[in-house]
Copies of this chain bind each other. A is one copy, B any other.
Amino acid sequence: MDRPRYAYLGPSGTFTEQALAQVVSPEQGEYLPYPDVTSSLEAVRSGSADFAVVAIESTGDGGVTATLDALATGSPLVLLREMLVPVQFDLVAAPGTTLSQVRRVSAHPHAWVQCRGWLSTHVPGAVHVPAASNTAPALVLASGERSPAFDAALVPPTAVEAYGLSALARQVADSDGLITRFVLVGHPGDVPPRTGADKTTLVVQLPDDESGALMSMLEQFAVRGINLSRIESRPVGDSLGRYSFSIDCEGHLMDERIGEALMGLHRTCPYVRFLGSYPRADGTAQQVTVGTSDVEFADARRWLAALRDSEPR
């Protein structure tokens, strides 16, 4: 049987590749580099790949909007697993370039944001030349091309040697503890069983005609004792002031309280998409508040049935 194929943001050396390596070795899975997150996910939708690994959130720059938006619409995909990758950057340049000569810095927009402080101090006038991935400019520098577009680049430390580059400065991220969260994405039906330390990811669009709609939506979780670990707003594309929310909540699709909350959202919000239940990377078991365990749900259901049984319809 063929090895499963994994789409990821290439070229080789990206943080995404490090996340992919947590899932499967190159011997057991085929690594398929794609130029961006959207095409990685499309590869799964079209059948060119079996799975995709994509960044979904980073300290310093928040949700990866391309990922959030690509998952929120189109044919359904689900998250199967999350992986955390520590993030750092080195500043590299063509041979012979010194720090004081740097004027234009190629960087993926997330990298630029995460090194902004260091750059403003050490390369004060530098202009951002956006890159499509963290290793794309490394490839350009390694090719020896006399690039008109930039004279230095922010790249992952692992890419410095891999591409035979030399670093002008090492560890230039503004924070030591940067982490990017990646997810493994596949088709519905592959969802992992519950472990007691799970997350469920949803997209929920708010009714736009109701003041207090966000509070009402949050109450669907609160009244069933469900904690949220992430909530991010995304615009609904056709007008200002309308939002959907990308949400991670604690628990699994098979938990009673999650099921009832999902039904509540489905009833009261114009659009709800289930994006998967999967084990938390940190393995922390969720808190179950009084009255929200499966046992208590089952007991309440029996109690109600007994009340109704003695009643005519």
A116 at the interface (CB under 8 A from B): yes
A240 at the interface (CB under 8 A from B): yes
Knowing A263-B297, A300-B267, the reply to whether A310 touches B191 (Cβ < 8 A) is yes
User: How long is the Cα–Cα vector from A223 to B308 in the complex, in angstroms?
Assistant: 22
Query: Chain A interface: which size bin?
Result: 35 or more
Knowing A188-B310, A215-B218, A231-B233, the reply to whether A35 touches B259 (Cβ < 8 A) is no
A4 at the interface (CB under 8 A from B): no
Least CB distance, A140 to chain B, in whole angstroms: 9
Contact in complex: B132, A61 (CB < 8 Å): no
A122 at the interface (CB under 8 A from B): no
Contact in complex: A312, B192 (CB < 8 Å): yes
Partner of A189, one of B128, B216, B310: B310
Partner of A235, one of B62, B189, B224: B62
Interface string of A261-304 (1 = CB under 8 A from B): 01110111000001001000000000000111000110111011
Interface string of A147-190 (1 = CB under 8 A from B): 11100000000000000000000000011010101000000110
Contact in complex: A311, B181 (CB < 8 Å): no
Contact in complex: A214, B238 (CB < 8 Å): no
A100 at the interface (CB under 8 A from B): no
| CB-CB nearest in chain B for A215 | B218
Least CB distance, A300 to chain B, in whole angstroms: 4
Contact in complex: A313, B193 (CB < 8 Å): yes
CB within 8 Å of B: which A235-249 residues: 235, 237-241, 243
Knowing A109-B109, A237-B175, the reply to whether A307 touches B253 (Cβ < 8 A) is yes
A30 at the interface (CB under 8 A from B): no
Least CB distance, A273 to chain B, in whole angstroms: 10
A144 surroundings in chain B (CB, below 8 A): none
A47 at the interface (CB under 8 A from B): no
Interface string of A202-234 (1 = CB under 8 A from B): 000001000110111011101110011111111
Partner of A297, one of B175, B234, B237, B267: B267
A: residues with CB less than 8 A from B are 35-36, 38, 57-63, 65-66, 69, 84, 109, 113, 116, 127-132, 145, 147-149, 174-175, 177, 179, 181, 188-189, 191-194, 207, 211-212, 214-216, 218-220, 222-224, 227-235, 237-241, 243, 253-254, 259-260, 262-264, 266-268, 274, 277, 290-292, 296-297, 299-301, 303-304, 307-308, 310-313
List 9 extra interface pairs beyond A127-B132, A259-B304, CB under 8 A.
A59-B240, A148-B149, A192-B312, A215-B215, A215-B219, A231-B243, A260-B260, A264-B291, A266-B300
24 A–B pairs (Cβ distance < 8 Å), ordered by A: A36-B127, A60-B237, A62-B235, A84-B240, A127-B132, A145-B148, A147-B148, A191-B311, A193-B313, A207-B290, A214-B218, A216-B223, A219-B219, A220-B223, A223-B223, A262-B304, A263-B301, A263-B303, A263-B304, A266-B300, A266-B303, A267-B291, A267-B297, A268-B291
